[in-house]
Amino acid sequence: MSSSLLECTGLDKRFGGVLALAEVGFSINRGEIYGLIGPNGAGKTTLFNTLTGIYACDAGGFSFAGEPLAGLRPDQIAARGIARTFQNIRLFGNLSALDNVMIGRHVRTRAGVFGAILRTRATLEEEAAIEKRALELLAYVGIAARANDVARQLPYGDQRRLEIARALATEPKLLALDEPAAGMNATETLELKKLLERVRADGTTILLIEHDMKLVMGLCDRVLVLDYGRRIAAGPPREVQRDPRVIEAYLGAAAA
């Protein structure tokens, strides 16, 4: 088995005349935390949306665990093992935290209409298992006490955690996080870092978009830098940090 989990080659994404992604290629190894950084508008979220099937790419493609995934629907990609969170949190806001995570179990469970109507033993057992797993995941991300609270009314940091729990409920091989630390204070960010390290230690690979450079540098094994839809650098954080093109992209040519 190769150590590479996600292979992405020559990915193009065009919006009208704008080339939002241009020949982006990279690969993520199993078990690593892979950072995706770049200035605002660099194409990070576009890349996320392409990898999770929300956008169809115009050229190139990507394969996940050896299987080409470009062109599949978001739900098919989630079923293959990529789960994500959203930059602007997209929880099921009016449902309880527990319901949110239970919905995440949908893709790994089976019960259909007839099972539900007849309440067969298999369905009841599955329901119990779904709830048990959801409660475990809420405890895992540290918001077990909030299980019955309405998602929209949770504090901001807890909403971010809940989104991670919901994504983990789909049993992903790759967890893709779009700015999970945005809007968090230093303590919350530190706790997030611990959580992500634990997720990785438990065997889930992580792809992380983040603007908090301290977090990226402290957490990521490797980093990909995008600017204007192009890959301008990639490698371990320490090297990337010193790359003149990266400094130019962030601070302007004079600084480099």
Give the span between the Cα atoms of 208 and 176, in whole angstroms: 6
At 36, phi and psi to the nearest 5? -130, 110
Question: Is 116 or 145 the residue whose CB approaches another protein more closely?
Answer: 116
Angle, CA of 54, 56 and 60, to the nearest 5°: 135
- The token pair at 55 is 């956008």
Question: Is 53 or 237 the residue whose CB approaches another protein more closely?
Answer: 53
Q: Measured from the CB of residue 13, what is the shortest distance to another protein in angstroms?
A: 17
Question: Is 27 or 52 the residue whose CB approaches another protein more closely?
Answer: 52
Q: Measured from the CB of residue 111, what is the shortest distance to another protein in angstroms?
A: 5
Q: Measured from the CB of residue 70, what is the shortest distance to another protein in angstroms?
A: 17
- The token pair at 214 is 């301290």
Residues 107 and 75 sit within 8 Å (Cβ to Cβ): yes
Q: Measured from the CB of residue 185, what is the shortest distance to another protein in angstroms?
A: 26
Q: Measured from the CB of residue 197, what is the shortest distance to another protein in angstroms?
A: 24
Question: Is 137 or 215 the residue whose CB approaches another protein more closely?
Answer: 137
- Which amino acid makes up residue 251? L
Residues 11 and 24 sit within 8 Å (Cβ to Cβ): yes
Question: Is 150 or 232 the residue whose CB approaches another protein more closely?
Answer: 150
Beta bridge partners of 231: 226
What would you measure as the largest C-alpha separation in the chain, in angstroms?
Answer: 70
The residue among 237, 214, 215 whose CA lies nearest residue 225 is 237
Question: Is 123 or 189 the residue whose CB approaches another protein more closely?
Answer: 123
Radius of gyration of the chain (CA): 19
Give the span between the Cα atoms of 179 and 183, in whole angstroms: 9
Q: Measured from the CB of residue 106, what is the shortest distance to another protein in angstroms?
A: 5
Which residues of the chain form contacts with another protein (CB under 8 A)? 52, 54, 73-75, 78-79, 83-84, 86, 90-95, 99, 102-107, 109, 111-113, 115-117, 119, 123, 126-127, 130, 150, 152, 166-167, 169-170
Residues 87 and 209 sit within 8 Å (Cβ to Cβ): yes
